[in-house]
Amino acid sequence: MKKPNWIEWARSPQAISQTGLHFSEDVYDQDRYRQIGKVAAEIIAHHTNLSDQKVLELNASEFGYATPK
C-alpha cells in the first residue's frame, strides 16, 4: 500500500532541516533550517492528532544526517 502524499511532503523538508541543522555553523542558516522543520511539523500535525510542538519534540530526538529508516 502506498503511503499518503502528505507523509512524503512532510518527510522531505524534515530531513533537509535535520541534516542542515547538523552541518550548519551559521546562525542565519540554522534559523532557516528550523523554519523548514516547523513547516514539516505543521504538515504532520495537520494530518494527525499531534500538536506542532509535539511533532517538533519528536523530530528533535533525530539528529545528524537524515537517512532512510
Q: Specify if 65 maps to a domain.
A: no
Q: Specify if 49 maps to a domain.
A: yes
Phi, psi of 8 (to 5 degrees): -65, -35
Number of domains in the chain: 1
Q: Note the pLDDT of residue 43.
A: 92
Q: Specify if 50 maps to a domain.
A: yes
Q: What is the mean pLDDT of residues 39-67?
A: 82
Q: What is the mean pLDDT of residues 38-61?
A: 88
Q: What is the mean pLDDT of residues 54-67?
A: 73
Q: Note the pLDDT of residue 63.
A: 60
Confirm if 40 and 14 have CB atoms less than 8 A apart.
yes
In whole angstroms, what is the distance from residue 1 CA to residue 39 CA? 26
Q: Note the pLDDT of residue 68.
A: 57
Q: Specify if 13 maps to a domain.
A: yes
Q: Specify if 66 maps to a domain.
A: no
Condensed to tens digits (0 to 9), the pLDDT of residues 4-32 reads: 888 888 889 999 999 999 999 999 999 99
Q: Note the pLDDT of residue 67.
A: 60
Distance of CA 23 to the CA centre of its chain: 15
Q: Specify if 69 maps to a domain.
A: no
Residue span of the structural domain in which 54 resides = 5-60
Q: Specify if 68 maps to a domain.
A: no
Q: In the chain, what are the helix, strand and coil shares in percent, each to the nearest 5? A: 70, 0, 30
Closest CA to 22 of 56, 64, 68, 59: 64
